[in-house]
Amino acid sequence: MKKNIIDEKYLKSIIYYFRCGNEIYIGSTCNKRGVKKRIHQHETDYRGFHNDIFTNNIKRGYRSSFEILKHGKYVYGVLEEYPCVNLQQLTDRERQWISAFREKKYTVVNKQLNNDKIELNIPHIFFIINEQNKRDFCISQDI
Protein backbone atom coordinates (compact mmCIF):
# COMPACT_ATOMS: atom_id res chain seq x y z
CA MET A 1 0.00 0.00 0.00
CA LYS A 2 1.32 3.43 -0.88
CA LYS A 3 1.88 5.86 1.99
CA ASN A 4 -0.32 8.59 0.52
CA ILE A 5 -3.42 6.38 0.26
CA ILE A 6 -5.86 6.75 3.14
CA ASP A 7 -7.07 3.49 4.63
CA GLU A 8 -10.18 4.41 6.61
CA LYS A 9 -9.83 1.55 9.09
CA TYR A 10 -6.87 3.41 10.65
CA LEU A 11 -8.96 6.50 11.42
CA LYS A 12 -10.06 4.86 14.70
CA SER A 13 -6.71 3.44 15.78
CA ILE A 14 -5.81 2.97 19.43
CA ILE A 15 -2.45 2.65 21.18
CA TYR A 16 -2.84 0.39 24.22
CA TYR A 17 -0.72 -1.21 26.91
CA PHE A 18 -0.80 -4.11 29.26
CA ARG A 19 1.62 -4.53 32.09
CA CYS A 20 2.56 -6.49 35.15
CA GLY A 21 4.63 -4.58 37.68
CA ASN A 22 7.39 -2.72 35.86
CA GLU A 23 7.09 -4.80 32.67
CA ILE A 24 4.94 -3.30 29.94
CA TYR A 25 3.86 -4.19 26.43
CA ILE A 26 2.74 -1.44 24.05
CA GLY A 27 0.47 -2.35 21.15
CA SER A 28 -1.91 -0.84 18.67
CA THR A 29 -5.13 -1.83 17.00
CA CYS A 30 -7.60 -0.53 14.52
CA ASN A 31 -10.02 -3.31 15.42
CA LYS A 32 -13.42 -1.70 15.80
CA ARG A 33 -14.15 -4.08 18.68
CA GLY A 34 -11.47 -2.33 20.69
CA VAL A 35 -8.68 -3.07 23.09
CA LYS A 36 -10.43 -5.79 25.07
CA LYS A 37 -10.81 -7.86 21.89
CA ARG A 38 -7.17 -7.27 20.97
CA ILE A 39 -5.99 -8.38 24.43
CA HIS A 40 -8.13 -11.50 24.04
CA GLN A 41 -6.31 -12.22 20.77
CA HIS A 42 -2.96 -11.99 22.62
CA GLU A 43 -4.29 -14.44 25.25
CA THR A 44 -5.47 -16.86 22.55
CA ASP A 45 -2.06 -16.72 20.89
CA TYR A 46 -0.36 -17.34 24.24
CA ARG A 47 -2.48 -20.41 24.98
CA GLY A 48 -1.96 -21.68 21.43
CA PHE A 49 1.79 -21.24 21.69
CA HIS A 50 2.10 -23.14 24.97
CA ASN A 51 -0.53 -25.80 24.44
CA ASP A 52 -0.03 -26.49 20.74
CA ILE A 53 -3.62 -25.42 20.18
CA PHE A 54 -4.29 -24.66 16.57
CA THR A 55 -6.83 -21.96 15.90
CA ASN A 56 -7.95 -21.80 12.29
CA ASN A 57 -5.21 -24.39 11.61
CA ILE A 58 -2.52 -21.83 12.51
CA LYS A 59 0.28 -22.76 14.90
CA ARG A 60 0.85 -19.82 17.23
CA GLY A 61 4.36 -18.40 17.20
CA TYR A 62 6.09 -16.55 20.01
CA ARG A 63 5.14 -12.91 20.56
CA SER A 64 6.84 -10.52 22.96
CA SER A 65 3.51 -9.84 24.69
CA PHE A 66 3.84 -13.34 26.18
CA GLU A 67 6.41 -11.90 28.60
CA ILE A 68 3.51 -10.10 30.32
CA LEU A 69 0.90 -12.81 29.90
CA LYS A 70 3.10 -15.48 31.50
CA HIS A 71 2.54 -13.82 34.89
CA GLY A 72 -1.18 -14.57 34.64
CA LYS A 73 -2.11 -11.21 36.12
CA TYR A 74 -1.87 -7.85 34.42
CA VAL A 75 -3.65 -4.56 33.90
CA TYR A 76 -4.38 -2.97 30.56
CA GLY A 77 -5.70 0.25 29.15
CA VAL A 78 -5.72 2.80 26.37
CA LEU A 79 -2.76 5.14 26.07
CA GLU A 80 -4.14 7.13 23.17
CA GLU A 81 -6.76 7.20 20.50
CA TYR A 82 -4.69 7.90 17.43
CA PRO A 83 -6.49 8.52 14.14
CA CYS A 84 -4.09 8.03 11.25
CA VAL A 85 -4.25 7.01 7.62
CA ASN A 86 -2.07 3.90 7.32
CA LEU A 87 -0.15 1.19 9.14
CA GLN A 88 3.17 3.03 8.90
CA GLN A 89 1.82 6.04 10.81
CA LEU A 90 0.32 3.77 13.47
CA THR A 91 3.54 1.79 13.85
CA ASP A 92 5.60 4.99 14.10
CA ARG A 93 3.36 6.28 16.89
CA GLU A 94 3.55 2.97 18.74
CA ARG A 95 7.37 3.16 18.54
CA GLN A 96 7.25 6.66 20.08
CA TRP A 97 5.31 5.30 23.06
CA ILE A 98 7.74 2.39 23.41
CA SER A 99 10.67 4.80 23.53
CA ALA A 100 8.92 7.04 26.05
CA PHE A 101 8.31 4.16 28.46
CA ARG A 102 11.89 2.96 28.05
CA GLU A 103 13.06 6.45 29.00
CA LYS A 104 10.93 6.18 32.15
CA LYS A 105 12.82 2.96 32.97
CA TYR A 106 9.96 0.57 32.38
CA THR A 107 10.98 -2.84 31.11
CA VAL A 108 9.34 -2.70 27.71
CA VAL A 109 9.03 -6.22 26.36
CA ASN A 110 8.32 -5.16 22.77
CA LYS A 111 10.98 -6.05 20.26
CA GLN A 112 12.65 -2.91 18.96
CA LEU A 113 11.67 -2.47 15.33
CA ASN A 114 15.03 -0.95 14.47
CA ASN A 115 17.75 1.12 16.07
CA ASP A 116 16.80 4.42 14.46
CA LYS A 117 16.61 7.40 16.77
CA ILE A 118 12.96 8.05 17.49
CA GLU A 119 11.75 11.59 17.97
CA LEU A 120 9.52 11.62 21.02
CA ASN A 121 6.37 13.51 20.22
CA ILE A 122 4.03 12.24 22.90
CA PRO A 123 2.45 13.58 26.08
CA HIS A 124 4.53 13.64 29.24
CA ILE A 125 4.25 10.54 31.38
CA PHE A 126 4.05 11.27 35.08
CA PHE A 127 4.20 8.78 37.89
CA ILE A 128 1.59 8.69 40.63
CA ILE A 129 1.01 6.56 43.69
CA ASN A 130 -2.23 4.60 43.59
CA GLU A 131 -4.28 3.42 46.57
CA GLN A 132 -2.25 0.20 46.92
CA ASN A 133 0.95 2.26 47.20
CA LYS A 134 2.23 0.89 43.92
CA ARG A 135 3.86 2.99 41.26
CA ASP A 136 1.62 3.71 38.32
CA PHE A 137 1.55 6.30 35.62
CA CYS A 138 -0.76 8.88 34.25
CA ILE A 139 -0.52 10.75 31.00
CA SER A 140 -0.86 14.48 30.59
CA GLN A 141 -1.03 16.62 27.51
CA ASP A 142 0.07 19.56 29.68
CA ILE A 143 3.77 20.33 29.51
Domains identified in the chain and CATH numbers: 9-114 (3.40.1440.10)
pLDDT confidence of residue 130: 45
pLDDT confidence of residue 1: 47
Minimal CA–CA distance to 29: which of 52, 11, 53?
11
% of the chain surpassing 90 pLDDT: 37
pLDDT confidence of residue 116: 53
Minimal CA–CA distance to 62: which of 37, 90, 35, 42?
42
Q: Is 68's pLDDT higher than 70?
A: yes
Lowest mean pLDDT across 40-44, 80-84, 90-94: 40-44
